Amino acid sequence: MTAPTVAHLSVEDRKARGTSARERTPLTSHRGWAPAGGRPDPVALLEAQNVTRERDLVPVRHGRMLASPFTFYRGAAKIMAEDLRHTPRAGLAVQLCGDAHLSNFGVFASPERRLLFDLNDFDETLPGPFEYDVLRMSASFTIAARNNGFSATDVRDATLAALRSYREAMGRFATMGTMDIWYARLSEEELTAAIQLAIGAQKGKQRKAAEAIGKNAQRNVAKARGRDSLQAHSKLAEYVDGQYRIVSQPPIVIPARELLDHFGMSPDETRAALHAQLRSYRATLQDDRRHLLEQFQLVDVARKVVGVGSVGTRSFIALLQGRDEQDPLFLQVKEATASVLEDHLPKSRYRQPGERVVQGQRMMQAASDIYLGWTTGVQDDRYLYWRQLRDMKGSAVIETMQPLAMSFYARACGWTLARAHARSGDPIAIAAYLGTSDKFDKAVTDFSKRYADQNDRDYARFAEAVRSGRLRAIEGV
């Protein structure tokens, strides 16, 4: 792969690039969104995605999306990608998450074993217009706040909080040194300090609500710290005939030994294929991390259903053992397909979709899993990426959030997305484009309201497709 020539512009030239972009694409141009003429049928877009998914899991995906307009939105990245292609762009590119809704942020452990708050899903990552992630994030706050029964004012406040935080954070990153941006992160200590500051700013009933947020955050952090391979081992493994194996919990967890007919392979062929996959994956790791992984031996593999949007794509867990049976390591193996944004943005520079996901994650996250790697599946048209299953991972329960908590969470997400974009894009140009007024915030809040209305209409069409029998759904799984 030939390295591109890099232009090094002065700070003034970078600022001028941003202000020039504002002249071409005014901040107010993000207002007044309406669906483009000839907009594709949203149900048909989902059906097209289902073609390559596991047939027995597609109804599970539909069932999870059917729960609410919010869960529908989480699984509708392809639908929004079709809408985003028609939205205004300033011409300022970053590495996109591609699916930056509020449930794709959370905490996890850095290699130094410190808890960090960051983006945590990169299945759709691709270079592209910074606005795409911002619009996806802001609309998710509007939709989630409505789903929680917030007043119109509280819905607007939560959305504005995310946008204001993004804009103000980008303004700060524009003044920082390059290495300072690269090392910026939102640690457990900084998150706790921010919560305490927010508590101190409240009075009366609001202060009690803020204190409840702090206690809930502490519980979530403690819970995340306990989510590791040992905890997964206690829930997902059983001791049979002198060794551990993954417990069968269909349809969520189905061990490879029960999927032989599904993939048309004998036990010996399956065993050989799994070990070949592990060797291929190890080759994508750094030497030190490859050496570390080589201390573990593969014990068992199972298919495991995860998420909402990912349901139906191939996803597995692998149980490995280190020095003895009490030294487990669980890896997650997820299928990577083309990003939904590649339908209209330039194709990824990486021909292997698994590598696209891994390299995009490394670009955007403040710190990434030491076991991130990729491989080609047993079938030539299947691509996978690997990471730890549970490494102190935790996420907020969005559906129970009250207005004060959601606004605080919105500020954390806005800052985090700005930091991720500042690493790969030009924070000086983007900050100059956004400016210091709230014009951008208000314009995108208007977009979010309109898009939430469209999401409601799309959800209604989806629900009707289930009722009519066009789509099959299994709920509660």
Segment (H or E) for 336:
strand 328-336
> Residue 440: its pLDDT value, please?
98
Instruction: Tell me how far apart the alpha carbons of residues 129 and 7 are, in angstroms, rounded to a whole number.
Output: 19
> Residue 1: its pLDDT value, please?
52
Confidence at 432, pLDDT banded by 50, 70, 90: very high
Least confident of 266-280, 333-347, 389-403, 457-471: 266-280
Among residues of the chain, what percentage have pLDDT more than 90?
A: 78
On whether the pTM is more than 0.85, the answer is yes
The mean pLDDT of 127-137, rounded to a whole number, is 98
The mean pLDDT of 20-32, rounded to a whole number, is 97
Helix residue ranges per DSSP H, 350-426: 353-364, 403-424
Confidence at 220, pLDDT banded by 50, 70, 90: confident
What are 152-176's pLDDT values in tens digits? 999 999 999 999 999 999 999 999 9
CA distance readout (Å), 199 to 117, 196, 419: 19, 5, 24
pLDDT(6) > 90: no
CA geometry: angle at 340 spanning 334 and 342, to 5°? 115
Of the CA atoms within 13 Å of residue 162, those in its CB half-sphere come to 31
| Residues 416 and 410 sit within 8 Å (Cβ to Cβ) | no
Confidence at 68, pLDDT banded by 50, 70, 90: very high
Instruction: Tell me how far apart the alpha carbons of residues 154 and 360 are, in angstroms, rounded to a whole number.
Output: 34
Residue 328 region, left (φ>0) first, then alpha (ψ -120 to 50), else beta? beta
Handedness of CA 251, 340, 334, 133 (dihedral sign): negative
Coil, strand, or helix at residue 385?
A: strand
Segment (H or E) for 428:
helix 427-434
| Residues 320 and 292 sit within 8 Å (Cβ to Cβ) | no
Instruction: Tell me how far apart the alpha carbons of residues 209 and 404 are, in angstroms, rounded to a whole number.
Output: 7
Instruction: Tell me how far apart the alpha carbons of residues 132 and 99 are, in angstroms, rounded to a whole number.
Output: 9
Confidence at 198, pLDDT banded by 50, 70, 90: confident
> Residue 380: its pLDDT value, please?
67
Residue extents of the structural domains in the chain: 11-226+393-468, 229-388
pLDDT(379) > 80: no
C-alpha closest to that of 435 among 72, 103, 164? 164
Instruction: Tell me how far apart the alpha carbons of residues 90 and 321 are, in angstroms, rounded to a whole number.
Output: 50
C-alpha closest to that of 181 among 171, 196, 189, 191? 171
Of the CA atoms within 13 Å of residue 318, those in its CB half-sphere come to 21
Instruction: Tell me the β-bridge partners of 303.
Output: 254, 316
Among residues of the chain, what percentage have pLDDT more than 70?
A: 99
Confidence at 350, pLDDT banded by 50, 70, 90: very high
Crossing angle of helices 439-468 and 77-84, rounded to 10°: 130
More confident residue, 114 or 463: 463
Locus of tokens 């792969």: 1
Coil, strand, or helix at residue 297?
A: strand
The mean pLDDT of 103-115, rounded to a whole number, is 93
